[in-house]
C-alpha cells in the first residue's frame, strides 16, 4: 500500500489562499500596524497604573498614567531618555523583549491572514508596522518637547523603526520563506557552523544566567534586606520587584560577560575573573548577585567557556572528512557567536545619568573577541583531532586481478531444440552498438497515434502511393494465379484459427466478426 510522506527538510504550501483586493490588503496592514502600537502602549500603561495604584504616596489619575506611559513606551523601544541630571541609556531589556514578541506575533498573524508565502511579500507587513512605530515614536518625542523627560525625535523615530522592523521580520521569516532563502545560499559546512554558533551563544548566555542565580542564592540574606529597606508598602515592593525583573536580562548578559572573562563595570566598580575593583553600588536587590571581594578561584569560571568551545568542536567533527572543512565550520560558529554577543553587549549597558554609577558598561568588543577565542581555539583542536580521516591507498601496491574466464569452455555455437530456430539464429549478424541508435518505444507513448501519422504521410506523398499501387497491379497481372495454392493457404489459416480458438477456450463456430471492437 503506498504511503504518502512529507518532506521534513522544507514545508511546501500546496494550497494557495484566496487573493485580496488592494483595499482589503491595505485595511489588514493598517489594522496590524495600528494594533501593535495601541496594544503595546496599553500594556505599558497598565503596568504603570498597577504600580501607581498600589503605591502609598502616589496620586493615581488616568491622564497622569497615559502621559507617563509615553516615555515608558519609548524606553520599551530602547530609546534613550534625557533628564536634567543626565541621560538614561541603560534601559531594561525585558520590556523590549516583550514588545518584540508582541510585534512578531502581530506580523505573523497578518502574514497568515493575507496568505503570504514568498520572501518579497513580507515587505508590506514589515514596512507598515515599522512605519507606524516610527511615526508614533517621533510624534511622542516632539510632543514631550523640553519637559522633565525628553527624547531626541530623530533617535526616537529610527529607534522605534529598527526595533519594530526587526521584530516583524523575525515574525514573518518562516512563513514567508526568509529562513529557507538564507539557508539555501549556504553550503552544508557553513550551515552546520551557523547552527553550532547559535548553540554556543545560547550555552554561554545560559552559563551567565546560572552565575547570576548562584550569586543571588549565595547572597539571599542581603537581597531580602534590600527589599525590606525599599519600603513597607506593597506598591513600593511591587515597583522594586518589577524594576529588578525588567533589568534581569541585563544582569544575565553581564554574567555572561563575566564567565567569558570580559567582565563588566558599574561606574568605578569593575568585576571580572582576572580583575576586581570594589566600590559602592546602588541599593537594588538584583545587584546583590555581584561579588563583594576578589577570590582566588574566580578564574575557574573560564573552564565553562572552554568546555562550550570543546562542545562546538565535537559537534563539527563529522561535518566533513577534510580537516580544513571542519575548521571552517568551527570558524563560522565562532563568528556567529561573536556577532551575537556583540549585539547583546551593546544593548545591555549605557549611560546612567551623571552620578557615581555612570556608566554601566559591558565591553562589547572585548566580549566578542573573547567569545570568538573560546569557541575557535578549543573547537578547532577538537574538530581537527576527533574528526575522521581518509586513508590514502598506495597505487603501487594495488594489483589487477584478471577474471577467471575460460575461452575454451565457452561454446560459441548456440543450439536450440528446434532446428528452424537454430538456422535463424545462425543467420543473424553481429552488429556493434555504435552502428545503430535505440529509438524510443512509440507504442507506449500516449500521445503517439500511428493512424494519424499514417494519414499525414499519405496526404504528404500521394504520388508515392499511386506509384506503389501501379507496381503492385503490374506484378499481380504478370504472375499467374494458382487456385490450388490459394485453397491450401486458406485451409492452413483455418487450421491456425482453430488451434488459436482451442487455446483460448472458444468454440470453433463462435463468430467474433459480429462483436463490437474493444
Q: Model confidence over 348-361: pLDDT tens digits?
A: 988 887 777 888 99
CA-nearest of 250, 239, 212 to 78 is 250
Number of H helices, E strands in the chain: 17, 6
- What was the pLDDT predicted at 366? 94
- What was the pLDDT predicted at 431? 53
What span, in angstroms and rounded, lies between the C-alpha atoms of 55 and 39? 24
pLDDT per residue as tens digits for the range 385-395: 887 766 544 44
- Domain assignments of the chain as residue spans, ordered by start: 22-184, 188-386
What span, in angstroms and rounded, lies between the C-alpha atoms of 192 and 198? 10
What is the 8-class DSSP label of residue 355?
S
Residues 80/350, Cβ–Cβ less than 8 Å: yes
Read off the C-alpha cell for 260: 567569558
What span, in angstroms and rounded, lies between the C-alpha atoms of 276 and 279? 10
| Vertex 177: Cα angle to 176 and 183 (nearest 5) | 155
- Summarize the chain as % helix, strand, coil (round to 5): 65, 5, 35
Residues 136/38, Cβ–Cβ less than 8 Å: no
- What was the pLDDT predicted at 52? 81
What residues of the chain score a pLDDT lower than 70? 1-19, 56-58, 389-497, 499-518
Greatest Cα pair distance in the chain: 134
- What was the pLDDT predicted at 487? 62
What is the 8-class DSSP label of residue 65?
H
- What was the pLDDT predicted at 382? 92
Neighbouring C-beta atoms of residue 134, cutoff 10 Å: 21
Its pTM surpasses 0.85: no
**Which residues pair with residue 15 across a beta bridge?**
none
- What was the pLDDT predicted at 115? 86
Please return the burial class of 105, using the count of CB atoms within 10 Å of its CB with bins 0-12, 13-18 and 19+.
middle
411: three-class secondary structure by DSSP? coil
What span, in angstroms and rounded, lies between the C-alpha atoms of 181 and 174? 10
Q: Spell out the long-range contacts of 228-237 with Cβ–Cβ below 8 A and sequence spacing 24 or more.
A: 229/283, 230/283, 230/285, 231/56, 233/54, 233/55, 233/56, 234/54, 235/51, 235/52, 235/53, 235/54, 235/55, 235/56, 235/58, 236/55, 236/56
What span, in angstroms and rounded, lies between the C-alpha atoms of 376 and 186? 20
Amino acid at each position: 500500500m503506498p504511503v504518502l510522506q512529507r518532506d521534513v527538510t522544507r514545508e511546501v504550501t500546496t494550497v494557495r489562499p484566496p487573493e485580496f483586493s488592494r483595499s482589503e490588503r491595505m485595511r489588514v496592514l493598517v489594522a496590524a500596524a495600528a494594533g501593535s502600537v495601541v496594544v503595546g502602549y496599553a500594556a505599558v500603561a497598565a503596568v504603570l497604573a498597577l504600580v501607581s495604584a498600589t503605591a502609598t504616596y502616589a496620586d493615581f489619575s488616568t491622564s497622569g498614567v497615559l502621559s507617563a506611559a509615553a516615555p515608558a513606551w519609548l524606553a520599551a523601544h530602547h530609546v534613550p531618555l534625557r533628564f536634567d541630571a543626565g541621560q538614561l541609556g541603560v534601559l531594561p531589556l525585558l520590556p523590549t523583549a516583550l514588545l518584540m514578541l508582541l510585534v512578531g506575533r502581530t506580523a505573523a498573524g497578518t502574514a497568515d491572514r493575507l496568505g503570504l508565502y514568498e520572501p518579497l511579500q513580507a515587505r508590506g507587513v514589515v514596512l507598515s508596522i515599522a512605519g507606524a512605530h516610527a511615526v508614533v515614536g517621533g510624534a511622542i518625542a516632539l510632543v514631550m518637547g523640553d519637559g522633565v523627560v525628553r527624547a531626541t525625535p530623530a533617535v526616537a523615530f529610527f529607534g522605534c523603526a529598527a526595533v519594530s522592523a526587526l521584530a516583524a521580520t523575525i515574525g514573518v521569516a518562516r512563513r514567508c520563506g526568509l529562513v529557507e532563502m538564507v539557508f539555501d545560499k549556504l553550503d552544508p559546512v557553513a550551515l552546520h557552523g551557523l547552527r553550532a554558533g547559535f548553540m554556543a551563544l545560547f550555552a554561554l548566555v545560559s552559563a551567565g544566567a546560572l552565575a547570576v542565580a548562584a550569586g543571588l542564592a549565595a547572597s539571599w540574606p542581603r537581597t531580602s534586606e534590600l527589599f525590606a529597606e525599599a519600603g513597607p508598602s506593597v506598591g513600593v515592593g511591587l515597583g522594586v520587584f518589577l524594576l529588578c525583573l525588567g533589568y534581569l536580562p541585563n544582569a544575565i548578559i553581564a554574567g555572561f560577560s563575566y564567565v567569558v572573562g570580559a567582565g563588566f563595570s558599574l561606574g568605578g566598580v569593575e568585576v571580572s575573573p582576572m580583575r576586581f575593583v570594589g566600590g559602592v553600588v546602588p541599593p537594588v536587590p538584583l545587584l546583590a548577585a555581584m561579588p563583594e571581594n576578589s577570590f582566588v578561584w574566580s578564574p575557574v569560571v573560564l573552564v565553562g567557556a572552554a568546555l562550550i568551545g570543546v562542545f562546538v568542536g565535537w559537534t563539527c567533527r563529522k561535518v566533513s572528512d577534510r580537516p580544513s572543512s571542519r575548521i571552517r565550520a568551527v570558524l563560522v560558529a565562532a563568528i556567529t557567536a561573536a556577532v551575537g554577543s556583540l549585539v547583546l553587549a551593546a544593548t545591555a549597558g549605557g549611560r546612567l545619568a551623571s552620578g557615581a554609577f555612570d556608566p554601566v558598561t559591558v565591553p562589547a568588543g572585548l566580549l566578542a573577541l573573547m567569545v570568538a577565542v573560546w569557541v575557535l581555539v578549543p573547537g578547532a583542536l577538537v574538530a581537527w583531532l576527533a574528526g575522521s580521516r581518509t586513508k590514502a591507498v598506495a597505487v603501487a601496491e594495488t594489483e589487477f586481478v584478471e577474471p577467471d574466464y575460460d575461452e575454451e569452455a565457452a561454446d560459441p555455437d548456440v543450439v536450440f531444440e528446434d532446428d528452424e530456430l537454430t538456422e535463424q539464429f545462425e543467420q543473424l549478424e553481429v552488429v556493434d552498438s555504435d552502428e545503430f541508435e535505440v529509438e524510443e518505444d512509440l507504442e507506449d507513448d500516449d500521445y503517439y497515434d500511428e493512424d494519424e501519422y499514417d494519414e499525414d504521410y499519405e496526404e504528404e506523398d500521394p504520388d508515392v502511393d499511386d506509384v506503389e499501387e501501379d507496381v503492385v497491379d503490374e506484378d499481380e497481372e504478370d504472375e499467374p494465379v494458382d487456385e490450388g495454392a490459394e485453397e491450401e493457404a486458406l485451409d492452413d489459416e483455418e487450421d491456425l484459427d482453430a488451434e488459436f480458438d482451442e487455446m483460448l477456450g472458444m468454440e470453433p463456430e463462435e463468430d467474433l466478426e459480429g462483436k463490437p471492437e474493444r
